[in-house]
Chains A and B, each alone.
Chain A
Amino acid sequence: MGLFGRRRKAANKDKEEAPFPSGSSGQSGPSGQQGYQWHKSLQDNLQAIQDAFGSPETIKLQHLEVSGRDAAVVFASGLVDLEKIAVEIMQPLSTWSRTHREARPELHDWPQGVLAAAQTSTVRDLSDAALELFNGSALLLLDGEDRVLAVAVDGYAKRSPEPPRVDPVIRGAQESMTETLLDNLAMVRRTVPDRRLRTITRRVGTRTRTRVEVVYLQDVADPDLVTEVVHRIDAIECGGILESRYVEERIQDHPWSPFPTMLDTERVDAVAQALLQGQVVIMVDRTPQALILPVTFFEFFRSVSDYSTPVYFATFARWLRFISFFLSFTLPSLYVALVGYHPEVIPTKLALSILGTRQGIPFPAVFEVLILDLMMEVLREATVRMPRNVGQTIGVVGGIVLGTAVVQAGIVSNTMLIIVSLSAVASFAAANFTFAQAIRILKYVLLVPTVMLGLVGYVLGLTVILLHLCSLDSFGVPYMSPLAPYRAGDIKDTFTRVPHFLMTRRPQTYHPSDMKRSAKRQKQT
């Protein structure tokens, strides 16, 4: 596995005790070998469930008789569809009992011959029972059987797919993922209906046992990469996974870097595109964002909309994003360096204009930057936390009123207001929100050497940032690829967007198993 140089070992020490007696380390598979074993007595099993759950109000029990034997259906109210329980479990069992009074029903016969449910599974222990109950299944217990059946009758509240909030497009699919993993997988499968689309399921978190899916195209993705991703997920030891970020930070190569080494997206077409070019996707239950990996620096300047707009405009938009990225974190520092240290470098007319606006300002340029930038950050945070309708109003009014007031009060100059506003607006031009957050931090990082050494510090700061970028990897793929190391074939979809008919090969950067995008159709086996 030489490809993955700096593989992060999961050294998470926050392993917690499992809530139910089980041998599981938070993963799927034959868990619970050392936990509670189901007894043949229904009463014992019901008592065990009661002991384990502490008789909460939400756990309901329904007794019934099946061919003269006692049985029980256990479910969590609010998470199941009661009509489904009636139609798929109760009614079929009742009918079957009437016609088979003398029969001794075996549990394993039920799914095929008796129940009308589409999905059933055997519950091995109490840990599995909790998982099934709280994922919307009903447990079916039968006296004399030391096994328990879980029947999928989920009826919990779900959100329907909506248009993407973060990366909307004019042309193309208006469909984003939701909090339900199975629905998200279904949407991806509908977009890429290829039989070689594979998923590997893992349960992570000793308490939450969150379902995590690794999705990839079997004949396209690098098998070493898939193995590595699964290996890293298996190494996670933690109490709970509430969001994909919990997984991301535990498996990424450089968790301390401000730059993201995985791309998060809520767009189904972005996931499909990543799969088609040989990347691997991680989907986490209850998270409407999927993680795409490996990624390069330049991936964050690509938008799905680039591929649904004419090539010239897509290229133009991409360059706008590059320029915006550079301006967003360098502009305030460059201003401080030029105005505070080297005004002689500025063209004369511009220098006079800037110096004119700074007349009477009591602070040095760096304090001006900090005052305005912090004000901007506070407004940004406040508008995110506020109710949407109020937030927009406060954002606009706060920005205009405060901005005008500080300039009129002579605290900051007009030029500085332009610089900081331009920098803030430019940071949103990045195609990814997580990446935009990194830019916000970098702005302050660059300001430190600039304040100390002027233009020289600015250059040294940029050098250090570039060096840092060059040192990053994403699952064995150099972050600055295809520029460094240079991959000629991948450049055409980096600084430009060539027409689709010219993109005949997949990006070499991701080491796909099959380089040709239009692979020959394989015989059905």
Chain B
Amino acid sequence: MKPVKAGNKLISSNEMMPLVYCATVAYGIIVGPKMLVEFGREASPLLSALGLGLAVGVIILSVKMAQRFPHLTAFQWIIRLLGPLGYVPAVTLLLYLLALQSVHAYNFAVLLQMLFLDRTPLPVIIVGGMAAAFYGVHLGIEALSRFFRIIVYLEYLVLVPLLLLGPSSFTWTHFMPFYPLDTRTWLLGPLVALGSYLGYAHAPLGLLPYVRDHERALRPSLVGLALAGLIITGATTVTLGVFGPETVRLTAYPTFEYSQVLRMPQPLMFLSRYSLFFGIVWVVAIMKLAMLDMFISAIGVQQIVGVRNFKVALAGVTLVVAVGAMLIPNPRVGEQLVVNVALLGVALSLGLLPLLGLLVVLLRRRADKVAQSS
């Protein structure tokens, strides 16, 4: 298994900020607030902050792990460490990514059909989205990182005013009592919050070999996570404050609902359909996560299956994901799959990575030799 080719275009460590941000906010802004408010009720903003703390720990671990093999992707260093046995977690990781994308693509299509395109068949929406994502990924990591950076600015431009207008519609009693939860919920809550940050670990793991100055990748990664954490925690707070735990339980996408019920101040009445802007951000948010995961998956297919041409591997990934999305029979299964895949993500983050970390410590001497030879 060869290291990443030297001829590939590299990005600077600063570009890790938009990559981590985009990976995290993408699905987190859509399902995060609902998951958190349903589980943590009045304490959900606090649980979100705790989950962010947990995510910081995991991302430090992920980046440190990846930095040990700066020229190898996660797929490669897992196999390097574990030998032939390493193919099992490597393939699991690849399948997880493919499953994640299929579920996301399906839910993306369902969401769009429900909100905007009620007469358009799901496969048409899926194919449209996948085609755009394919175009983006085939341009390479450099173009993607530049695109993500611009999206960070645009998202903040739309989301921050949206969240700042929230307190004017708050029912403050929705936050009371402040400590309503039992010990079990306090213990499990941050893990649920971690689920809403799903996606963050992939970026540094999959993309560090493409970072020119990888030794400086941690700080921008943490900045990206912090920016994403602010948005997700803010969205959780606002949906709780505006709707309360009981209403949130009944709504499918409380953040979008909030953008629809938002009442603009008088001077901004011309922006009465703010949900339009939010809808645009939403579509782009899912697209960018899809592109990131597709890029990493295509690299995985190249390295595990041995496909030489990146575009062929990418075409294969696109096809598998599109077919996978079309095979999901109905939204209920889709929702269940979201939960299952999220749990798998948490398991991978909290289970597989520490396990591998332990192995790295135990096999340090051997790993050093391998790293030097690579």
Chain A residues within CB distance 8 Å of chain B: 5, 341-342, 345-347, 449, 452-457, 459-460, 463-464, 466-468, 470-471, 478, 480, 483-486
Q: Which residues of A contact B270 (CB under 8 A)?
A: 347
The answer for the CA separation of A393 and B89 in the assembled complex, in Å, is 73
* A455–B147 touching, CB < 8 Å: no
> Which residues in window 128-178 of B have CB below 8 A to A?
128-129, 132, 135-136, 139-140, 142-147, 149-150, 153
> Which residues in window 85-112 of B have CB below 8 A to A?
112
* B12–A459 touching, CB < 8 Å: no
* B150–A470 touching, CB < 8 Å: yes
Tell me the count of chain B residues lying within 8 A, CB to CB, of chain A.
36
The answer for the CA separation of A350 and B147 in the assembled complex, in Å, is 34
Q: Which residues of A contact B283 (CB under 8 A)?
A: 456, 459-460, 463
The answer for the CA separation of A467 and B142 in the assembled complex, in Å, is 10
* A467–B136 touching, CB < 8 Å: yes
Does B117 have its Cβ within 8 Å of any Cβ on chain A?
Answer: yes
* B272–A347 touching, CB < 8 Å: yes
* A464–B136 touching, CB < 8 Å: yes
Count of chain A to chain B residue pairs whose CB atoms are closer than 8 Å in the complex: 88
- A467 with B14, Cβ < 8 A, contacts A453-B117, A456-B112 known: no
Shortest Cβ distance from B143 into A: residue: A471
Q: Which residues of B contact A342 (CB under 8 A)?
A: 116
* A456–B125 touching, CB < 8 Å: yes
* B273–A466 touching, CB < 8 Å: no
Q: Which residues of B contact A485 (CB under 8 A)?
A: 12, 14-15, 145-146, 149
Does B185 have its Cβ within 8 Å of any Cβ on chain A?
Answer: no
Q: Which of B12, B144, B283 has the most CB of A within 10 A?
A: B283
Choose among A346, A468, A484 the residue that contacts B149 (Cβ–Cβ < 8 A): A484
> Which residues in window 295-352 of B have CB below 8 A to A?
none
* A467–B143 touching, CB < 8 Å: yes
Q: Residues 230-266 of chain B: 1 if any A CB is under 8 Å from the residue's CB, otherwise 0?
A: 0000000000000000000000000000000000000
* B284–A463 touching, CB < 8 Å: yes
* A346–B273 touching, CB < 8 Å: yes
25 contacts between A and B (CB under 8 A): A345-B275, A449-B128, A454-B116, A455-B280, A456-B128, A459-B280, A459-B283, A460-B132, A460-B283, A463-B132, A464-B132, A464-B136, A467-B139, A467-B147, A468-B139, A470-B139, A470-B143, A471-B140, A471-B146, A478-B146, A480-B146, A480-B150, A484-B147, A485-B145, A486-B14
Does B53 have its Cβ within 8 Å of any Cβ on chain A?
Answer: no
Q: Which residues of A contact B145 (CB under 8 A)?
A: 484-485
Choose among A449, A455, A484 the residue that contacts B146 (Cβ–Cβ < 8 A): A484
Q: Which of B139, B273, B284, B287 has the most CB of A within 10 A?
A: B273
Q: Which residues of A contact B275 (CB under 8 A)?
A: 345
Q: Which residues of B contact A452 (CB under 8 A)?
A: 124, 128
Q: Which residues of B contact A453 (CB under 8 A)?
A: 117, 120, 124-125, 128
Further 4 A-B residue pairs, CB within 8 A, beyond A455-B280, A485-B14:
A460-B129, A464-B132, A467-B136, A467-B147
* B135–A467 touching, CB < 8 Å: yes
* A471–B132 touching, CB < 8 Å: no
Query: Min CB distance, B20 to chain A, in Å?
Result: 15
Sorted from nearest, which 7 A-B pairs have the closest CB atoms?
A471-B143, A484-B146, A470-B146, A484-B149, A471-B139, A470-B147, A467-B136
